[in-house]
């Protein structure tokens, strides 16, 4: 009696990837996908006028996005479920949490201009990020983001915390949308090798400051200036380091071309 080769292959695969190995990979993907559910809750909070609640939910999505990739690599998710594209899932969820939800939050909160001008301003991040999330080189092989990495959730956070006016918000959204197309390399805090430990430490502290600012926001009086100061200092560090490393890599490439 001839043995079924398909059956043998499936049994061999099960021996390599036991059920528990595949099950934990499923939970990692569900962890990533939970951002889609959180997006629904963010939109609900936005339409109810609960901007601080929406920002808390955005913080949770940031924490998930900061940790799901590490979990996926540690638990060898792509090996456990080779038929499932976790990177595509991550991009879909990131587009919802980093772009769609914050733009709706700014729209519903009255932070965007009225009329057709407001529609145009809101459309720019959505269209620019649609382009970026479909680029195969949006995340480079040496672990940088190419072009502004669509941090419109961070933009929304500062807009609401600082109560920026419609003109300022429109300007920031336009500039950030245009920067998506400028091939500057931005630090990928959890993966960029250069200054990785410092970036991880400061990013963790920035997330903590984000929570502290939200805790302070409902209280009467201004938000603690030391919290705001550190939060803005982190932005200066992030963009400063990104521009420095991008310029350094560009110069190294030019030198290689001259030598060649």
Percent of the chain at pLDDT exceeding 90: 86
Closest CA to 210 of 51, 60, 44, 106: 60
d(CA 208, CA 202): 10
Q: Residue 16's pLDDT is what?
A: 67
Closest CA to 39 of 108, 109, 92: 92
42 pLDDT above the threshold of 80: yes
Q: Residue 234's pLDDT is what?
A: 98
- Assign 6 a pLDDT band (cuts: 50, 70, 90): very low
Closest CA to 176 of 234, 117, 107, 102: 102
Q: Residue 159's pLDDT is what?
A: 98
Domain ranges of the chain: 5-183, 189-260
**Mean pLDDT for the stretch of residues 74-88:** 94
The CATH code belonging to domain 5-183 is: 1.20.120
Q: 56-70: per-residue pLDDT in tens?
A: 999 999 999 999 999
Lowest mean pLDDT among 54-63, 75-84, 229-238: 75-84
Element (H, E) at 75: none
Mean pLDDT of the chain: 92
Q: 103-143: per-residue pLDDT in tens?
A: 999 999 999 999 999 999 999 999 999 999 999 999 999 99
């Amino acid at each position: 009696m001839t043995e079924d080769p398909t059956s043998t292959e499936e049994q061999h695969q099960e021996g390599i990837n036991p059920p528990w190995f595949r099950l934990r990979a499923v939970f990692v993907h569900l962890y990533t996908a939970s951002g889609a559910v959180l997006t629904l809750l963010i939109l609900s909070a936005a339409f109810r006028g609960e901007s601080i609640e929406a920002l808390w939910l955005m913080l949770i999505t940031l924490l998930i996005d900061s940790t799901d990739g590490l979990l996926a690599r540690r638990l060898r998710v792509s090996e456990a479920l080779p038929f499932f594209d976790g990177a595509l899932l991550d991009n879909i969820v990131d587009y919802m949490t980093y772009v769609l939800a914050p733009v709706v939050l700014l729209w519903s909160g009255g932070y965007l201009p009225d009329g057709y001008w407001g529609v145009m301003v809101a459309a720019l991040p959505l269209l620019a990020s649609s382009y970026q999330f479909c680029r195969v080189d949006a995340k480079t092989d040496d672990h940088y983001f190419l072009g502004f990495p669509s941090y419109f959730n961070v933009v929304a956070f500062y807009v609401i915390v600082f109560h920026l006016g419609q003109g300022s918000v429109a300007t920031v959204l336009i500039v950030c949308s245009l920067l998506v197309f400028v091939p500057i390399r931005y630090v990928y805090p959890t993966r960029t090798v250069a200054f990785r430990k410092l970036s991880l430490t400061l990013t963790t502290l920035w997330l903590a400051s984000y929570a502290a600012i939200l805790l302070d926001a409902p209280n009467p009086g201004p938000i603690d200036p030391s919290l705001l100061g550190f939060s803005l200092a982190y932005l200066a560090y992030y963009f400063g380091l990104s521009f420095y490393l991008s310029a350094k890599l560009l110069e190294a490439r030019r030198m290689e071309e001259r030598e060649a």
